Chains A and B, each alone.
Chain A
Amino acid sequence: MDGTPAATRSARPSRLAAWARQHGGAWRTCAHYFRRDAVNALLTVLVIGIALALPAGLYVIYDGTVSAAARLNLAPQATLFLRGTVAAPEGAALAARLRADPRVAEAVFVDRAAALAEFKAGSGLGAVLDALPDNPLPHVVTLTLRRGSPAERESLLSGLRGAAEVAETHYDLIWIARLEAFSALLGRGVSGLGALLGLGVVLIAGNAIRVGIERQRDEIEVAKLCGATDAYVRRPFLYLGAAFGLGSGLTALLILALLFGRLAGPLGDLAGLYGLAPGAIGLGPGPGAALLGLSLTLGWLGGWLAVSLHLREMEPSAR
């Protein structure tokens, strides 16, 4: 009270300046809360960081699998053995028809006489084969399919199995199907685990902040008695949640860098086995930034949740 009573109270502080000051003050309060309970705060950050590293690491593996599969040029192949009654021009016509099918990348007709000649030259069994009364080989069409969905491929092949010219089909898809099933599974695992652990992050951060609120209860009550708004009380805890989230995101990135740094050698060897150049393994800048943004948001949300649930019961009583 410096001099005059309330009648001459000064004009209200300008809104923008007050807003800026309040945010600055909220950061200081936030830092105060953090320091007051630094060990728990750091532990929280570590726990959330580990929880985030798990789905992020799975994502890296998923992403690596998908891009490796793409680079492997794994076009599915099928071989059609034609019936003995089918003449060469009919076989060639079948191959031409198949080339026009959008699901087919390439179709080559292999004449049985040409196949036999090639086999004789390549196998060194010329004399044995000459002794045979007939050419034992059928006409063949080799197919390279486009990479569509498994269902598309299946419908194409079952149509061919029923075709009049075709005696038998041989279809080499099994390990593509496995790879695709594996990456689909990983993809689901990443999103499912990510959603679950995202919820976990909100709850862990929220709980840590709830504990913080309990510890600051006195301060909050006194501030409210002095005319603090809910927004004023809430703000430092939102910042604290965001700081938890951001710190955890950085921790997760660090964990991933260490982990995939250790895996780089073995993964490079594995890539070599498949004839692939060893690509960079890890979270790229885009997904890394997304992880930080997401963790920040989740932490903020945890803070918001904790304060919203507690603010109403924080109404002070003047003891």
Chain B
Amino acid sequence: MIRFDNVSKTYAGGFDALSDITLHVAPGEFVFLTGHSGAGKSSLLKLVALVERATRGRLVVDGRDLGRLGRRGVPEHRRQIGFIFQDHRLLMDRTVFDNVALPLVVAGHPAAETARRVRAALDKVGLLHKERAAPRTLSSGEQQRVGIARAVVNRPKVLLADEPTGNLDPALGRDILQLFAQFNAIGVTVLIATHDLALLEQVPHRRVTLHAGRVEAGA
């Protein structure tokens, strides 16, 4: 589903955030991406979501060679991917419903279908009763779950999460992990970047460790 072949990422300024990454993630797999802060975890996820482009090497996601994808192809690619951020990046002046609806709205789905799918996603994360609420009024665990609902509302084949439990206490972190496991159980490929070791201890999934921009273990 995700295939890195000798991929490198050099940021403007000449810093090599990722060097010669070769990594395959099979469809339906659940992978933890670990490593110290600055190891390149976020950069790797950004390459998959085409937030950044690889400097060298070949990156294929769901059969699409991202190096060959032009600027116009980027939105369509992102619609196939759900991205979850540590700081959730909710729009604070919109309701929970509108936040979750955003991926469907930008893709131009009909209102009725959008409403149905948004409620299904909110139901999945246990926040159906909060659809009219302002994100500000929610707890941080709830905010993160709204972020997850937004990431899955488009039914992506791939879920990427960057430190999704970074701001949460362990019990809430476990709940979030449970959610990812449920999506994985219905076939979604899940890639979670985290340095939350307590989280990693709980589940037996594959672990890929980055160190200074290189794959150290788990490739």
Contacts and interface: CB of A to CB of B under 8 A. Distances in A.
Nearest to A221: B89
Nearest to A24: B111
Interface in A202-249: 218-219, 221-229, 232
Contacts of A71: none
Interface in A261-319: 315-319
B87 interface: yes
Contact of A6 (B89, B107, B156): B156
A76 B110 CA distance: 72
A6 B111 contact: no
Interface in B141-174: 150, 152-157, 162
A5 B83 contact: no
A36 B92 CA distance: 13
B36 to A, nearest CB: 18
B167 to A, nearest CB: 13
A220 to B, nearest CB: 10
Contact of B78 (A6, A227, A319): A227
B93 A36 contact: yes
Contact of B91 (A6, A13, A222, A317): A222
A118 to B, nearest CB: 89
B83 A2 contact: no
A171 interface: no
Given A13-B110, A226-B102, A226-B150, A1 B91 contact: no
A22 B75 CA distance: 15
Nearest to B102: A226
A17 interface: yes
A197 B16 CA distance: 50
Nearest to B150: A226
Contact of B121 (A2, A7, A228): A2
Interface stretch (B2-10, B180-188, B195-203, B204-212): B180-188
A225 B83 contact: yes
Interface residues of B, number: 47
B124 A1 contact: yes
Contacts of A232: 75, 106
Interface string A1-38: 11111110110010001110110010000000000100
Contacts of A6: 80, 155-157, 187-188
B80 to A, nearest CB: 7
Contact of B108 (A2, A18, A36, A222): A18
A21 B110 contact: yes
**Residue from A17, A19, A25, A319 having most chain B Cβ neighbours under 10 A:** A319
Contact of A4 (B87, B124, B186): B186
A224 B152 CA distance: 16
Contacts of B52: 317
A319 B84 CA distance: 10
A227 B81 CA distance: 9
Contacts of B78: 224-227
Residue of A4, A13, A227, A229 ringed by the most chain B CB atoms within 10 A? A227
Contacts of A226: 78-79, 102-103, 106, 150, 154
B91 A218 contact: yes
A224 to B, nearest CB: 7
A19 B107 CA distance: 10
A19 B109 CA distance: 10
Given A227-B75, A319-B87, A7 B108 contact: no
A219 B51 CA distance: 16
A2 B105 contact: no
Contact of A318 (B85, B91, B111): B85
Given A319-B85, A319-B87, A1 B106 contact: no
B89 to A, nearest CB: 5
Interface in A33-71: 36
Nearest to A5: B187
A9 B111 CA distance: 17
A13 B85 contact: no
Contacts of A2: 116-117, 120-121, 124, 155
**For the complex of A and B, 3 pairs with smallest distance between CB atoms:** A18-B108, A2-B120, A227-B79
8 contacts: A1-B152, A7-B157, A10-B113, A227-B77, A229-B72, A318-B42, A318-B49, A319-B87
Interface of B: 42, 45-46, 49, 51-52, 72, 75-80, 83, 85-87, 89, 91, 93, 102-103, 105-111, 113, 116-117, 120-121, 124, 150, 152-157, 162, 183, 186-188
Interface of A: 1-7, 9-10, 13, 17-19, 21-22, 25, 36, 218-219, 221-229, 232, 315-319
Given A2-B117, A318-B162, 8 more contacts: A13-B107, A17-B110, A225-B89, A229-B75, A317-B52, A318-B45, A318-B83, A319-B85
